[in-house]
Amino acid sequence: TYVVTDNCIACKYTDCVEVCPVDCFYEGENFLVIHPDECIDCGVCEPECPAEAILPDTEPDTEKWVEFNRKYSEIW
Ligand code: SF4
């Protein structure tokens, strides 16, 4: 899965949402999250993010972000 990190906070762009083929972005109060079970790992959103907030979970130390994205995509 890909995850949204805190670089997204207060970001006004939704370029990533528009390119996602499976619509797995969810909008929080001041950030976006990716539902980790719905993301198909296509990677097209990563270069679209102007805040460089999107990372693959193969990067180190992304476990907490996977949990954060899961939590908020299920709340909203
Ligand atoms: Fe959507 Fe692909 Fe990004 Fe996953 S990697 S959130 S499926 S655009």
Q: Tell me if 55 CB under 6 Å of ligand 1.
A: no
Residue 61 CB partners (closer than 8 Å, separation 6+): none
Q: What is the DSSP letter of 74?
A: H
The pLDDT score that the predictor gives to residue 11 is 87
Residue appearing with tokens 């995850």: 3
Closest-CA residue, ligand 1 atom 8, reads 20
Indicate if ipTM > 0.90. Answer: yes
**35-45: pLDDT as tens digits:** 999 999 999 99
Provide mean pLDDT across the span 50-56. Answer: 96
**55-69: pLDDT as tens digits:** 999 999 999 999 999
Closest-CA residue, ligand 1 atom 3, reads 45
Q: Does the structure show a pLDDT above 70 at 76?
A: no
Distance, CA of 69 to CA of 26 (rounded, Å)? 9
The pLDDT score that the predictor gives to residue 48 is 97
Q: How confident is the model at residue 2 (pLDDT cuts 50, 70, 90)?
A: very high
